[in-house]
Structure 1
Amino acid sequence: MFEEENAQWGLVHALVLDGKGGARSIARTELDDLQLQAHESLWLHWDRSHPQTHTWLRKSSGLSEFNCDLLLEENTRPRLLPLPNAELLLFLRGINLNPGAEPEDMVSVRIFASAQRVISLRLRPLRATDELLAQLAEGKGPENASELILYMAQYLTDKVQDLVTCLSEIVDGEEEKLDADERYAPEHDAILHIRRRAAGLKRFLAPQRDIFGQMSRTKLPWFLEDDGDYWNELNNSLTRYLEELELTRERVGLVLEAEDRRLSVRMNRTMYRFGIITGIFLPMSFLTGLLGINVGGIPFSESPYGFMVACLLMICVATGQWLLFRRLRWV
């Protein structure tokens, strides 16, 4: 019920975390008079494209004009911006798993976080937030604002692992086919598409890894004591995925190089055979052309055995050339 009412305001969902892993949903109209308990935290997840989101953010959120401009700007990249009063802005990217979308066209989620309040904005749906809602519904979700942004980053990173593994398996399959069948020719467009996807992922994941590293060193009063260890682990995970992406790009290059070498060897072999055939038939063509000129004095022109002699002569020449090529190891 609340979700349908909130959607009219551009509010995807409004949840109050109970400090025990669960949450309750509230209506948009309750925000102005909401009083949080000491153990509670508020999570507001907005649709950035909705006009009411812009209105609420600038007039009712209590955020400065500077913060609102950053949260609503058209294009952004992963970044971390500490703010006064132990607050922060955190911009992250997640795999685009929406139907018909390219996964490497990563979805942006912009987060404002303070001790008891998290405001997040998205333009397109995020699978990570759906999983987070499912955890809260089971009472196994984050207990406070610190854990909320950590959980969100964790779910975003997990989706990266699935895609990186998928790309690596595709390249594995191409390498196995090349090794098993020397006549197999991979589709260049499909292989190059894998390289482009890896490059697109790396574009956003590299700065996001650095942000996780910064978060592991950030010490805010409302952060839990072991948060730094979890952020550091996310940093290590993204580092591993970036290394895997780089390896995938190199392996794609090796697959293309192997195919180019095979084509080159095949072409050289074909041209070599044509060269041998041409070398054998060229002297015979010279003989037939010489004997075929329409002038007097052609040998055996009056003899009934002339054609047979000419054929034997060409066979001898061809045999001699063959033996010479074998001696020179050309064939």
Structure 2
Amino acid sequence: MSGFAYVVKDGKVEQPTMRAALGQNGGLTWIHLTTNDERAQLWLSGEAKLSPYVIDSLTATETRPRCDAVGDGAVINLRGLSSEATTASDPLASIRIYAMGGCVFSVTRKHLSALQAVREEVESHKILDPGDLIAAFAQAITEELDPVVAELGDSLDDCEEQISGHRAFELRRMVNKVRVQAIGYRRFLNPQRAAIEKLAGLPGDWLRDDDRLHLSAAADRAARMAEEVESIRERAALTHETLTDLRGELLDQRSLVIAIVAMVFLPLTFLTGLLGMNVDGIPYAHEPWAFWGVVGVCLAMALGITGHFLRRHWFE
């Protein structure tokens, strides 16, 4: 288990040990744990003396964005980008936050990209209370996600512009990848928007008016991203269907060409097989012009059959 602590008081920012940070009054005390084992539960219960409900919320294995009022504080779960490997179904790392009065506890299981940006804001004296800290997390997470969602839309735009029968196979894989990513983000963006909106409306002195405004702005941005992801998912589904139809049409065209070629050569194969029998009585077998005569007949038959297919528009 690893972690850090900040104490912001009287305009000063200190970084004591996590144990020393406990019990600090006034300003902001932020204690962060990075862990995926049971030692966090033991520390939070033994040292921090948090309630079992809060500890379970902070250390749960699987979480979705949410916000629950707990006494005079709140438990908030948010999701953001991570530099660690993630799965398509779970593409975002979680941060679990418990805020009460002037104290904030946070826990991450995977590295959260927005964490460093928030730490820099704390160290530069831009964050003075728990409301500022949570609003900073909400804003940093949505700011990082925004260009990623926009890039998904741009990728889908490129695929739609390049749709053609010749590239249907390649584009189908690209569109499917965009669709899977959009579904993964969609699972968390909608509940995250609802969680931030609920947090902005919670009663409590530890959330000031400017904090609520920042949270509302982050919620609006999350809502816009959720709508964009939903639009991308629907567009990807339609594009995937279009590419599937193009793929089927391309296969039908190739099958038609193969069938026409086979039909052209079928009578020629019959003729050459008939004349190639090793028996007596084949007409003109000993004539010097017989070979070229058979070649001419075969060419005439091939041209005649091909012309018939052209007149019937079988190649269109």
Q: TM-score, normalised by structure 2?
A: 0.82
Residue deviations 1:201-226 (CA, integer Å, cap 9, x gap): 22222211111222233222332124
Q: Which residue of 2 aligns with 1:5?
A: none
Question: Would you say how many aligned residue pairs link Structure 1 and Structure 2?
Answer: 314
TM-superposed CA distance for 1:18, in Å, is 3.2
Task: Give the 3-state SS of the residue equivalent to 2:141 in structure 1.
Answer: helix
Q: Percent same amino acid at aligned positions?
A: 25
Residue 102 to residue 296, structure 1, CA distance change in 2 (3 Å): closer
Q: Which residue of 2 aligns with 1:157?
A: 142
Q: Which residue of 2 aligns with 1:67?
A: 54
Alpha-carbon contact 1:11-1:53 (below 8 Å) kept:
no
Q: Which residue of 2 aligns with 1:169?
A: 154
Q: Gapped runs of 5+ residues in structure 2?
A: none
Alpha-carbon contact 1:218-1:228 (below 8 Å) kept:
no
User: How does 1:96-175 map onto structure 2 within 5 Å?
Assistant: 96-98=82-84, 100-101=85-86, 105-139=91-125, 141-175=126-160
Residue 318 to residue 130, structure 1, CA distance change in 2 (3 Å): closer
Per mean C-alpha deviation after superposition, the further-off stretch among 165-174 and 238-247 is 165-174
Residue 268 to residue 94, structure 1, CA distance change in 2 (3 Å): same
Task: Give the 3-state SS of the residue equivalent to 1:110 in structure 2.
Answer: strand
Task: Give the 3-state SS of the residue equivalent to 2:209 in structure 1.
Answer: coil
- The separation in 2 between residues aligned to 1:283 and 1:163, in whole angstroms, is 60
For 2:202, give the aligned amino acid: T
Match 1:23 to one of 6, 9, 13 = 13
Q: Which residue of 2 aligns with 1:43?
A: 30
Alpha-carbon contact 1:19-1:144 (below 8 Å) kept:
no
Output the aligned Cα RMSD. Answer: 3.3
- The separation in 1 between residues aligned to 2:66 and 2:32, in whole angstroms, is 19
Matched, 1:229 2:213: yes
Alpha-carbon contact 2:79-2:93 (below 8 Å) kept:
yes
Residue deviations 1:166-197 (CA, integer Å, cap 9, x gap): 33333344445546x94575276555343322
Alpha-carbon contact 1:178-1:185 (below 8 Å) kept:
no
Match 1:89 to one of 46, 71, 75 = 75
TM-superposed CA distance for 1:276, in Å, is 2.6
TM-superposed CA distance for 1:297, in Å, is 6.0
TM-superposed CA distance for 1:15, in Å, is 1.7
TM-superposed CA distance for 1:295, in Å, is 6.4
- The separation in 2 between residues aligned to 1:269 and 1:249, in whole angstroms, is 30
TM-superposed CA distance for 1:155, in Å, is 1.2
For 2:182, give the aligned amino acid: A
TM-superposed CA distance for 1:110, in Å, is 1.4
Q: Which residue of 2 aligns with 1:14?
A: 5
Q: Which residue of 1 aligns with 2:192?
A: 208
Residue 144 to residue 277, structure 1, CA distance change in 2 (3 Å): same
For 1:280, give the aligned amino acid: V
Alpha-carbon contact 2:163-2:171 (below 8 Å) kept:
no
TM-superposed CA distance for 1:63, in Å, is 2.4
Residue deviations 1:146-177 (CA, integer Å, cap 9, x gap): 22111112112222213223333333444455
For 1:45, give the aligned amino acid: H
